[in-house]
Structure 1
Amino acid sequence: MIQFIISRTISSFILGFGLLAISLQVLEAKQVDIPIECLNETKTSDDFNVFDFFLTHGETQEWLNLLATEYPETCQIQSLGQSSEGREISAISIYNDQPKKIILLGNLKAREWVGMTSSIFIIHELVRNSASYPHANKFQWIIVPITNPDGYEYTREHNRRWAKTRTVQQDGNIGVNLESNFDAQWGSATSHSALNPSGLLYRGSEPFSEPESRAIKELLDSHEDAILVVDLQAHGPNIFMPWSYTDEPVPNIDLVRAVADAGHKAMNAQSQQEFEVGIISDYAPFEYGTCMDYCSLIGIKVCLILRQQVGTHNLVTNDIIPFGQEAMVGIQAMAIESDWQQWQRSGDNF
Structure 2
Amino acid sequence: MRLLWLLATVVALTSAGILKDTPKERYDNFRVYKLSIQNKIQLAVIEKIGELTNKYNVWKEYDERSKQVDIMVSPGELNHFQELLKFNNISSELMIENVQDRIDEEQVTPTADSATFGWTKYYELEEIEAWLDEILNAYPSVTEEFIVGKSYEGRTIRGIKISHKAGNPGIFIESNVHAREWITSASATWFINQLLTSKDADVRSLADNYDWHILPVFNVDGFEYSHKKDRMWRKTRQPHATSACIGADANRNFDSHWLENNGASSNPCSETFAGDAPGSEPEAKALVEYLTKIQDEISVYISFHSYGQYLLSPYGHTKEEFPENYDDILTIGKAFADAIEALPYGTVYQYGSTADVLYVATGTSVDWVFNELGKKIGYTIEYRDKGRYGFILPPVQIIPNCEELMVGMLALIDKTKELGYL
TM-score range, shorter chain: 0.7 to 0.9
Q: Residue 261 of structure 1 is aligned with which of 334, 356, 366?
A: 334
TM-score w.r.t. structure 1 length? 0.80
**Paired residues of 2:261 and 2:317 also in contact (CA < 8 A):** no
Q: Is 1:319 aligned to 2:397, yes or no? A: yes
Structure 2 counterpart of 1:111: 180
Structure 1 counterpart of 2:257: 185
Change (3 A) 1:144 1:291: same
Q: How many residues align?
A: 298
Q: Residue 62 of structure 1 is aligned with which of 89, 113, 130?
A: 130
Structure 1 counterpart of 2:362: 288
Q: Residue 214 of structure 1 is aligned with which of 285, 292, 295?
A: 285
Query: Take 1:329 and 1:76, find their aligned partners in 2: how far apart are those partners?
Result: 25
- How much has 1:96 moved relative to structure 2? 5.1
The 5 A counterparts of 1:137-216 are 137-171=208-242, 172-188=244-260, 190=262, 194-216=265-287
Query: Take 1:225 and 1:77, find their aligned partners in 2: how far apart are those partners?
Result: 15
- Looking at secondary structure, tell me which structure has more strand per residue: 2
**Paired residues of 1:173 and 1:198 also in contact (CA < 8 A):** yes
RMSD over aligned Cα, in angstroms? Answer: 2.0
Change (3 A) 1:277 1:66: same
Q: Which runs of 5+ in 1 are unaligned?
A: 1-45
Q: Residue 165 of structure 2 is aligned with which of 82, 97, 101?
A: 97
Q: Residue 129 of structure 1 is aligned with which of 184, 198, 202?
A: 198
- How much has 1:259 moved relative to structure 2? 1.7
Structure 2 counterpart of 1:13: none
Query: Take 1:112 and 1:318, find their aligned partners in 2: how far apart are those partners?
Result: 16
* 1:331 alignment partner, SS class: helix
Query: Take 1:312 and 1:109, find their aligned partners in 2: how far apart are those partners?
Result: 13
- Looking at secondary structure, tell me which structure has more helix per residue: 1
Identity across aligned pairs (percent)?
Answer: 26
Change (3 A) 1:189 1:180: farther
**Paired residues of 1:96 and 1:140 also in contact (CA < 8 A):** yes
Q: Residue 304 of structure 1 is aligned with which of 372, 375, 379?
A: 379
Change (3 A) 1:239 1:313: closer
Query: Take 2:355 and 2:138, find their aligned partners in 1: how far apart are those partners?
Result: 44
- How much has 1:76 moved relative to structure 2? 1.1
* 2:342 alignment partner, SS class: helix
- How much has 1:90 moved relative to structure 2? 0.9
Query: Take 1:324 and 1:114, find their aligned partners in 2: how far apart are those partners?
Result: 9
**Paired residues of 1:241 and 1:256 also in contact (CA < 8 A):** yes
The amino acid of 1:119's aligned partner reads A
**Paired residues of 1:82 and 1:89 also in contact (CA < 8 A):** yes
Query: Take 1:237 and 1:190, find their aligned partners in 2: how far apart are those partners?
Result: 23
Query: Take 1:287 and 1:101, find their aligned partners in 2: how far apart are those partners?
Result: 26
Query: Take 1:140 and 1:47, find their aligned partners in 2: how far apart are those partners?
Result: 30
Q: Residue 231 of structure 1 is aligned with which of 303, 308, 312?
A: 303
Change (3 A) 1:218 1:156: same
TM-score w.r.t. structure 2 length? 0.67
**Paired residues of 1:105 and 1:115 also in contact (CA < 8 A):** no
Residues 88-131 of structure 1: per-residue CA shift (max 9 Å, x gap): 21111112525211111111111111111111110111112254
Structure 1 counterpart of 2:324: 251
**Paired residues of 2:306 and 2:383 also in contact (CA < 8 A):** yes
Residues 242-294 of structure 1: per-residue CA shift (max 9 Å, x gap): 10101111111122122212211221123311211122112333221111110
**Paired residues of 2:351 and 2:357 also in contact (CA < 8 A):** no
